[in-house]
């Protein structure tokens, strides 16, 4: 079953736009978010308002971040019967979520442009202290990578970096036909809940990122070779990891232990 959007604009390919229109999927997303009174909801990329208006109907107020200038006026007009819509016209990567949150926490929602999904995820991580949770639609392949564990062929840098700071839970798959125009890949909705600060074991975020990036940068190599100049064999062993292991064999806790050791 589909729901005709309140207004229609042709998707802009260079912005990676695919507008959601499947009513059943929209309902499942709103149900997954389950907004409560007092929540501060922020949607990234509202598009034609497929998720925006049902969230407004349910919650009454919503802030959206939209880069496409041509969508601002029609979104503003179409939102009036549904609730109070605040539009931030900006590239989401330039938005300071901490400033946007003020003295509260925000809940992020969005059908993310697939060509920018990883940068947006990492940008959100930088503001994890003010984010209560995130519900994002992404390419299914990306969601699989986000939630993957060691030993899986799609386990990689994205898996480790996100799981060190968040609980990542895939929710459900979304077929191409749920969008207009349909993408060439399956999509999926994922829930991310930032860990409380006292449950994050990483001592130095930059050092952790450096170690993980180096380890997976040459993933066919053993860690002894991939981490040359970053961590020597003695350090790798001190972290409880075999130097002849490869990055995809090491769990998130192992990378954290290694990055927390004093640099040689």
CA neighbor of 263 nearest in space, from 219, 200, 208: 208
58 burial type by CB count under 10 A (0-12 exposed, 13-18 middle, 19+ buried): middle
Instruction: Count CA atoms closer than 13 A to 163's CA, side-chain side.
Output: 23
Give per-10-residue mean pLDDT for the chain (264 aa): 46 54 94 96 93 95 94 93 96 97 96 89 95 96 97 96 98 93 91 96 96 93 95 96 97 98 80
Q: Report pLDDT for 48.
A: 86
Tell me whether residue 217 is annotated as binding.
Answer: no
Tell me whether residue 135 is annotated as binding.
Answer: no
Superfamily of domain 205-260: rRNA adenine dimethylase, C-terminal domain (1.10.8.100)
Tell me whether residue 111 is annotated as binding.
Answer: yes
Tell me whether residue 20 is annotated as binding.
Answer: yes
| Residues 85/52, Cβ–Cβ less than 8 Å | yes
The CATH 3.40.50.150 portion of the chain extends over 13-199
DSSP 121-151: HHHHHTTGGGEEEEEEEEEHHHHHHHH--TT
pLDDT in tens, 120-178: 999 999 999 999 999 999 999 999 999 999 999 999 999 999 999 999 999 999 999 99
The CATH 1.10.8.100 portion of the chain extends over 205-260
| Residues 61/83, Cβ–Cβ less than 8 Å | yes
CA neighbor of 133 nearest in space, from 178, 101, 102: 101
Give domain 13-199's CATH number out of 3.40.50.150, 3.30.1330.40, 3.40.309.10, 2.130.10.10: 3.40.50.150
Q: Which tokens belong to 165?
A: 């700071």
């Amino acid at each position: 079953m589909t729901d005709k959007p309140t207004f229609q604009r042709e998707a802009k390919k260079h912005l990676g736009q695919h507008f959601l229109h499947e009513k059943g999927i929209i309902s499942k997303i709103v149900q997954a978010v389950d907004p409560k009174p007092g929540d501060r909801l922020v949607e990234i990329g509202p598009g034609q308002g497929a998720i925006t208006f049902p969230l407004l109907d349910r919650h009454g107020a919503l802030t959206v971040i939209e880069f496409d200038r041509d969508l601002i006026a029609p979104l503003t007009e179409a939102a009036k019967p549904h609730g109070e819509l605040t539009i931030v016209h900006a590239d989401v990567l330039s938005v300071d979520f901490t400033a946007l949150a003020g003295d509260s926490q925000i809940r992020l929602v969005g059908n993310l442009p697939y060509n920018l999904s990883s940068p947006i995820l990492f940008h959100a991580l930088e503001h994890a202290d003010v984010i209560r949770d995130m519900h994002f639609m992404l390419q299914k392949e990306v969601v699989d990578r986000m939630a993957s564990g060691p030993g899986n062929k799609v386990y990689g840098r994205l898996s480790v970096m996100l799981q060190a700071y968040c609980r990542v839970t895939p929710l459900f798959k979304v077929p191409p036909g749920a969008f207009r125009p349909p993408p060439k890949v399956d999509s999926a909705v994922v829930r991310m809940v930032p860990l409380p600060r006292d449950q994050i074991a990483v001592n130095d975020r930059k050092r952790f990122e450096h170690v993980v990036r180096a380890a997976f940068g040459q993933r066919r190599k053993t860690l002894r070779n991939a981490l040359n100049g970053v961590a020597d064999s003695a350090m790798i062993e001190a972290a409880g990891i075999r130097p002849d292991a490869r990055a995809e064999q090491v769990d998130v806790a192992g990378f954290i232990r290694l990055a927390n050791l004093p640099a040689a």
